[in-house]
Amino acid sequence: MATSVASNADADVRAPHARALRRDALVERLALFSLSAPALILVTVIMVLPVAWLFGLSFVADDGSLTLEHYRRLIEQPSYARTFVATFQISLVTTAICVVLGYPLAYFLSQLPQRAANLCMIAVLLPFWTSLLVRTYAWLVLLQRQGLINTWGIKLGLWDEPLALVHNLTGTLIGMVHIMLPFLVLPVLESMRAIDGSLTKAAANLGASPSQAFRTVFLPLSLPGLFAGALIVFILCLGFYVTPAVLGGGKVIMVSNRIANDIELFFNWGAASALGVVLLVLTLAFLFVATRLLKFDRIIGSGR
């Protein structure tokens, strides 16, 4: 005991307060960590536990025994494969339309003076303040056979017969693009705003016409934001339920619709869980590959 006191005193002479300072640092780290505890608990309770539970359910047969039956059915019944392919296709098309519509919109917003840009941003974000369901049903009202668009189109003589704009793929895509667009515009706008204005000036000074400057400088520097936005939209689309259900009219079947069917019509939690697990795994795999392939932050730098 006496020797340890002595050596402590020795240590204190050589490195004064070292132990106390280390303890202070630890306490500080713990205090910081405790701030995130509520969020961690919440995520565990409402995300991790249910997913784990559903994962377990997907291996349980009706009689309670362990089984791979639900997964075997996913492989054996071709309709499931078709649903997955359709889901990826619809998500891809929605993402593509969002990119085509959203990139120019973001570019326009990025070039506006701050005040005007803020006003326009409110217009872009306005839909976020309305319920998803309300917006989807609003499209139903607009797009149906006797809806606003068909009535006016015929009145103005643009077309004679009511167009089938809803209860099909067209309606689903219109609704999905509308809902997903802000998720693309926001990250793209963010990356465009981060591009130093003097870079395009430098390009012009060095002899680049406006279109050359855009192609060689602005576009490459905004790509990381575009890929981030497209990735978010694509992944949100993969699990989209409400809009395809309402505007697809039963003709557009995405994975989430089949999951709902399995539960609502067949009370087959096992099959529904298996579908959910496969969708989750495919999404994660896609995310993994995409982020590996598109390490643009590293290749391109920050744009500043």
**Binding of other proteins at residue 225 (CB under 8 A)?**
no
**Binding of other proteins at residue 14 (CB under 8 A)?**
no
Stretch that binds other proteins, among 148-156, 214-222, 233-241, 285-293 (CB under 8 A): 214-222
What three-state secondary structure class fits 60? strand
CA–CA gap between residue 131 and residue 126 (Å, rounded):
11
Q: How far is CA 10 from CA 4, 5, 159, 236, in A?
A: 9, 9, 94, 61
Phi, psi values for residue 145, rounded to 5° = -55, -45
Choice from 52, 89, 209, 285 touching other proteins (CB under 8 A):
209
Stretch that binds other proteins, among 27-35, 108-116, 160-168, 294-302 (CB under 8 A): 294-302
CA–CA gap between residue 123 and residue 210 (Å, rounded):
28
CA–CA gap between residue 121 and residue 181 (Å, rounded):
12
Rounded to a whole number, what is the distance in angstroms from the first to the last CA of the chain?
Answer: 60
By the 8 A CB rule, do 174 and 98 touch? no
Residue 79 CB-half CA count within 13 A:
4
Stretch that binds other proteins, among 36-44, 51-59, 133-141, 203-211 (CB under 8 A): 203-211
Choice from 57, 121, 199, 294 touching other proteins (CB under 8 A):
199
CA–CA gap between residue 143 and residue 247 (Å, rounded):
9
Choice from 166, 181, 213, 246 touching other proteins (CB under 8 A):
213
**Binding of other proteins at residue 303 (CB under 8 A)?**
yes
**Binding of other proteins at residue 203 (CB under 8 A)?**
yes
Please state the closest distance from residue 198 (CB atom) to other proteins, in A. Answer: 4
By the 8 A CB rule, do 205 and 122 touch? no
Looking at the Cβ atoms of 15 and 202, the one nearer to other proteins is: 202
Please state the closest distance from residue 293 (CB atom) to other proteins, in A. Answer: 17
Contacts (CB under 8 A) with other proteins, residues 101-160 = none
Choice from 8, 36, 77, 205 touching other proteins (CB under 8 A):
205
- The binding site for other proteins (CB under 8 A) comprises 196, 198-199, 201-210, 212-213, 216-217, 220-221, 299-304
